[in-house]
């Protein structure tokens, strides 16, 4: 799956209230991460790397909710990419 398509679908799910809910991951944080990544238009491999770096940076800045959102999206990206035979599980 193309990263932009993934982000747009995830944003649509959020806005329709169909996104998976987690007590540690706020929908606003997820939306911020998705909007940022849509603007970046990364390749599949860059997408995983950017999510990892964003989570690490957010933790260093003591922003646990943002870090959790980036990690949750990375996990979802890897799962969807694996299901579609993509490269989302790259390191």
Give a yes or no: residue 62 inside a domain. Answer: yes
User: What is the average pLDDT across 60-85?
Assistant: 91
Q: What's the total number of domains in the chain?
A: 1
| pLDDT at 78 (0 to 100) | 92
Residue 91 in domain: no
Distance of alpha carbon 21 from alpha carbon 83, whole angstroms? 21
- 89 in any annotated domain: no
Q: Would the pLDDT of 69 be above 70? A: yes
The pLDDT value given to residue 85: 76
Task: Determine contact, residues 52/74, Cβ cutoff 8 Å.
Answer: yes
Answer yes or no: is 25 within a domain: yes
Identify whether 90 is part of a domain. no
pLDDT at residue 25, as a whole number: 78
Query: Which domain does 13 fall in, by range?
Result: 3-84
Q: Is the per-residue pLDDT at 52 higher than 60?
A: yes
3-state secondary structure of 72: helix
């Amino acid at each position: 799956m193309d990263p932009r398509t993934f982000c747009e679908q995830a944003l649509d799910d959020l806005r329709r209230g169909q996104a998976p809910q987690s007590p540690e991951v706020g929908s606003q944080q997820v939306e911020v991460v998705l909007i940022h990544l849509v603007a970046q238009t990364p390749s599949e491999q860059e997408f995983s790397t950017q999510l990892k770096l964003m989570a690490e940076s957010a933790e260093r800045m003591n922003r646990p909710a943002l870090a959790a959102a980036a990690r949750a999206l990375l996990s979802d990206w890897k799962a969807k990419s694996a299901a579609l035979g993509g490269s989302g599980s790259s390191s």
